[in-house]
Structure 1
Amino acid sequence: MTRESYASLQQKIEKEIQKLKKQAEALKAKQRTPVIKDIVRKMREYDITPDDITKAFSKTKETGKRAPNVSNGKSRGVVPPKYRHPETGATWTGRGKAPRWISNAESQGHSRDTFLIKPNNQ
């Protein structure tokens, strides 16, 4: 293959790449349009302002975490532990999959209630 044919082949490939990139961008824009319309419709339905979105979006960028669940403008907060291991002091809120120390105790015939944290007033 001569130097000229290599250069012309490379040029053809680069033109094809640019053409495909433009097609991909057009497809992406076409798919985004209905999504944006749906977001705007929901913002209107729930009286959400662009400032609300900006604040929520900046919070998730700053922390790297999802925005907290919000109900009536209030954060849900941290769930207090419901169960405590008497020896290790490990705790569990009672939400989600049970930790191994609970599962192991239950498989040995112990009741989950034996690990309940009792309120101070009782």
Structure 2
Amino acid sequence: MSRTSYNTEKTRLEKEMAKLQKKIQTLQAKERKPKIAEIVRSMRQYDISPEEIAAAFNRKPAGRASGAAPRKAGTATKRVIAPKYRHPETQATWTGRGKAPRWITEAEAAGTPRETFLIAAESA
């Protein structure tokens, strides 16, 4: 593609984009008019002033940051889980949660039962 055709195509697309943006603005204006009229009717019906709307519009909901759901205090901390299994030679440990470590899976493949690696209750 030559430089001239690139610039010509770019200019044509920019003009097309400007036309589409103008159509979008016209459509939005057409859709907004009835909504605004409905809001004004409701304000008159319930005797709501524009100042009350402005105050409510600028007020942030209590306990929320940027629309996120409120969080309970203390839920972000993780609990430490005591290890349940220990390798007798390397002293590597595993809590028994999640995917089993390689030393457990290799031992089980060799025929050693998982219970062999259990940590005794008195040493925990």
Compute the TM-score of the two structures, normalised by the length of structure 1: 0.49
Structure with greater contact order relative to length (CA < 8 Å, sep ≥ 6)? 2
Compute the TM-score of the two structures, normalised by the length of structure 2: 0.49
**Higher radius of gyration, 1 or 2:** 2
